[in-house]
Structures are given as structure tokens and as C-alpha cells.
């Protein structure tokens, strides 16, 4: 999962470069790049969130 967080934005960046060369339509590559960067930042910072203390079960 960690590798995927870093590989998807790189793949979207290369697709965006192809879009800048007019090989792929830009209206497809720009939203894809934005979504992958947004999701990678979201998943990266979501892991470090404090999730509270565990509730102890009575014995």
C-alpha cells in the first residue's frame, strides 16, 4: 500500500506530461493527477492520526 501511494502520483505525472505534449487529452490527465495527489496526501497523514486509547474489557 505504501508503494502504491508513491507510484500512482508518479504515473499520473507522466500521463500529465503526455497530456502537455498533446498525446492524451488534458481534461483526463489533470483531474487524474489532482485525485492521485489528494488521495496520497490523505492516506499518508491518515496513518499518523491518534485513534484514542483502547477500552479495557472487564475480566
Q: What is the pTM of this model?
A: 0.73
Range of the domain at 10: 2-46
| Burial of 36 (C-beta count, 10 Å sphere; 0-12/13-18/19+) | buried
Q: Is the pLDDT of residue 48 over 70?
A: no
Residue 26 lies in a domain: yes
Residue 52 lies in a domain: no
Q: Is the pLDDT of residue 55 over 80?
A: no
Q: Is the pLDDT of residue 49 over 70?
A: no
pLDDT in tens, 2-37: 788 889 999 999 999 999 999 999 999 999 999 999
Instruction: Give me the number of domains the chain comprises.
Output: 1
3 state DSSP class of 9? helix
More confident site: 1 or 40: 40
Residue 8 lies in a domain: yes
Amino acid at each position: 500500500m505504501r508503494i502504491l501511494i508513491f507510484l500512482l502520483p508518479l504515473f499520473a505525472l507522466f500521463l500529465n506530461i503526455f497530456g502537455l505534449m498533446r498525446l492524451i487529452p488534458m481534461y483526463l490527465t489533470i483531474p487524474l493527477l489532482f485525485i492521485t495527489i489528494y488521495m496520497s496526501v490523505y492516506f499518508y497523514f491518515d496513518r499518523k492520526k491518534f485513534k484514542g486509547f483502547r477500552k479495557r474489557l472487564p475480566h
